[in-house]
Structure 1
Amino acid sequence: MDKKWRYNDFSGFLARMFPFKVQKISVNAGFTCPNRDGSKGYGGCSYCNNQTFNPAYCRTEKSVSQQLEEGKAFFARKYPEMKYLAYFQAYTNTYAELEELKRMYEEALSVEGVVGIVIGTRPDCMPDSLLDYLVELNKRTFLLVEYGIESTNDETLRRINRGHDFACTADAVRRTASRGILTGGHVILGLPGEGKEELMAQAEALSELPLTTLKLHQLQLIRGTRMALEYAKEPDSFHLYSADEYIDLVIDYIEHLRSDIVLERFVSQSPKELLIAPDWGLKNHEFTNKVKKRLVERDAWQGKFCSKNNITY
């Protein structure tokens, strides 16, 4: 843990993994999701609009390598010595035939300066055959598989049309980590029906899983989503946190989180034109600095109240 900041930060993790600076470059490889194409359902998760996190260079008409080269050009102006991780981010990046997945991952690794891959996916889209390939890939490059967990509460997962339960998540995380593959997760804090008590229990439940990294995001209401329609009809069923409220919630949460889990981020920023609420007017680094300051003020740190700190993987 970074004693200076009182939590395990992602930049420190990358510094331990690489002898040089690295930057993730998002790739949109044109995948869909099983709860969009009818395999599990239609319409996707109720909060989801993938336009919220695709940079301008991420267009499916461009090849994987072209997207990476354009991403490199964007960052190289300021950091010419930077190396890169290809981040397969949009939708479900293991939801295709194995040979197609291999082709895309290998194409990414063929781009000069790309030193690893991060794969964002769903826990119900990780067959053992793909894990077999990822084990081999992991022997020759940096690899992190990041699962959309969102919640540990099955009622919440049903409400947001997630298409799987938490048992599915726990199984996928354990199967992946047991193969020696770095395994991450992503959760949304503030989903309807989940208050402080539920979220502290969530942090403890996640601490029982062999997670290496975790992303926390605040609930955001995005135009064009079913959740935005739900909010318009029943705003009282949602609690949209102020920035200060959410800072304290994050700190409460990480106090109940196992101390060795690497925290990649606390918030997400959606494009202004898509965001309904909450709009805090803070950039990610500004919010993170507020969290760091508040941790000191509260004499708080990651794992302070976690009952799972003695678990080792």
Structure 2
Amino acid sequence: MGERTRYNDFARFLALHFPFKVQKISLNVGFTCPNRDGVKGYGGCTYCNNQTFNPAYCRTDKSVTQQLEEGKEFFARKYPEMKFLAYFQAYTNTYAELDKLRRMYEEALRVEGVVGLVIGTRPDCMPEELLDYLEELNRRTFLLVEYGIESTDNHTLQRINRGHTFECTVDAVKRTAERGIRVGGHVILGLPGENHEAIIRQARQVSELPLTTLKMHQLQLVRGTRMAHEYELCPEDFHLYEVDEYIDLVIDYLERVRPDLVLERFVSQSPKELLIAPDWGIKNYEFAVRMQRRLQERDTWQGKFYEEVKKETI
């Protein structure tokens, strides 16, 4: 099996939809979450510090247009012909009145060079009236709605203060996919209380969802989060993976996911000044090279055991 076919990567997925290079530009438009503002709870997810993924241009005092223009300027220096996807990333980007959401999404699409939207949200923040609008939007531009799944275990979801169940995730993903909209999912591998067996079981559960794309990354303990405090009090509750151990975990997961699922990411890298652990000291591309090498050594690929796992569940 050739190196390029060991898993479905996001770059090839984008190449199927666009005849030019495409880059996501992250946006922070000042949303909150229902587990932050008191509707479902306070404090947000125990692992979350949004500073870990917001670029410098991503500030709420700047308009959608200004953030996109500054993001374009950053990338265009290297790739002048590049086009862009506006990525509504920070917090819950469907958690507002429909009119406000429509204005923001449409403003992004009016920016020159923006060829589509990626909207990050929670499964409990997708009302039918918004789906009606997104269905229409999907007919005229590229659209990917990305849900934070994080875990398929309700006990874990409660422990990390998500404020919703996995059943809620299943419902939202299905309702969105039924509208013909591409759906992405995001999971964290290594959340407290989830051992290797539980994580591998998750691969089967995620594969049963009508997802187009999946992002995964290792659990990271970040300063300023409730989880960092929990780690100080009870470090024995956490298993923080060494890089090679995590690579093998990801491959075990890959072997059991649906072969057509597009895998966007396997690892994340928080800013060094915020990261407590694990600090692997390698760049994302270096991780990808090591993982490719390990896939080759194990002579394995995405979905290798998928049919086998599927039979066990019938």
**Do the two structures share a fold, i.e. TM-score over 0.5?**
yes
Matching residue of 1:213: 213
Q: Give 3-state SS (helix, strand or coil) of 2:4's partner.
A: coil
The whole-number CA distance in structure 1 between the counterparts of 2:89 and 2:4 is 31
1:271 is matched with which residue? 271
Instruction: Show the counterpart of 2:33.
Output: 33
Kept in 1: contact 2:3–2:296 (CA 8 A) = no
Q: How many angstroms apart in 2 are the aligned matches of 1:53 and 1:88?
A: 12
- Please say if 1:254 is aligned against 2:232: no
The corresponding residue for 1:66 is 66
Task: Please give the alpha-carbon distance, in whole angstroms, between the structure 1 residues aligned to 2:15 and 2:297.
Answer: 27
Q: TM-score, normalised by structure 2?
A: 0.97
Deviations 1:112-138 (A, max 9, x none): 000000000000000000000001100
2:22 counterpart residue number? 22
Q: TM-score, normalised by structure 1?
A: 0.97
Q: Deviations over 1:20-75 (max 9, x none)?
A: 10000000010000000000000000000000000000000000000000000000
- The 5 Å alignment of 1:131-280 reads 131-280=131-280
Shift in alpha-carbon separation, 1:300–1:2, aligned structure 2, 3 A: same
Gaps of 5+ in 1: none
Whether the aligned pair in 2 keeps the contact of 1:5 and 1:292 (CA below 8 Å) is: no
| C-alpha contact 1:2 1:8 (8 A) present in aligned 2 | no
Q: CA deviation at 1:289?
A: 1.1
Deviations 1:155-174 (A, max 9, x none): 00000000000000000000
SS for the counterpart of 2:131 is: helix
Give the match for residue 114 of structure 1.
Answer: 114
Classify the secondary structure of the residue corresponding to 2:120: strand
Partner of 1:293: 293
Task: Output the CA distance in 2 between the equivalents of 1:234 and 1:210.
Answer: 37
Distance across 1 between alignment mates of 2:61 and 2:121: 21
Deviation at 1:5, TM superposition (A): 4.3
The AA in structure 2 aligned to 1:114 is V
Q: Percent identity?
A: 76
- Name whichever of 109-118 and 277-286 sits farther off: 277-286
Task: Quote how far apart the aligned CAs of 1:283 are.
Answer: 1.0
In the alignment, the residues of structure 2 paired with residue 305 and residue 97 of structure 1 have an alpha-carbon distance, to the nearest angstrom, of: 44
Q: Distance in 2 between matches of 1:4 and 1:294?
A: 14
Query: Partners in 1 of 2:192 and 2:5 — Cα distance?
Result: 30
Match of 2:98 in 1: 98
* 1:178 counterpart letter in structure 2: E
- The total of aligned residue pairs comes to 310
Secondary structure at 1:51 match in 2: helix
Instruction: Determine the structure 2 residue equivalent to 1:9.
Output: 9
The whole-number CA distance in structure 2 between the counterparts of 1:210 and 1:281 is 35
Q: Gaps spanning 5+ residues in structure 2: where?
A: none
Measured in 2, the distance between the counterparts of 1:98 and 1:138 equals 16
CA contact (8 A) 1:28 1:60 kept: yes
RMSD of aligned C-alpha atoms? 1.3
* Contact 1:2 1:12 (C-alpha < 8 Å) held by counterparts: no
SS at match of 2:91: coil
Give, as a single letter, the amino acid of the residue that structure 2 aligns with 1:289: V
Distance 1:160 1:268 in 2: 19
Is residue 118–residue 145 contact of structure 2 (8 Å, CA) maintained in 1? Answer: yes
Give 3-state SS (helix, strand or coil) of 1:158's partner: helix
Contact 1:258 1:309 in 2 (8 A): no
1:183-231 deviation digits (Å, cap 9, x = unpaired): 0000000001111100111000011000000001100000000000000
* C-alpha distance in structure 1 between counterparts of 2:5 and 2:178, whole Å: 30
Q: What is the letter of the counterpart of residue 24 of structure 1? A: K
Q: Deviations over 1:238-274 (max 9, x none)?
A: 0000000000000000101111000000001100010
Q: How much has 1:4 moved relative to structure 2?
A: 2.1
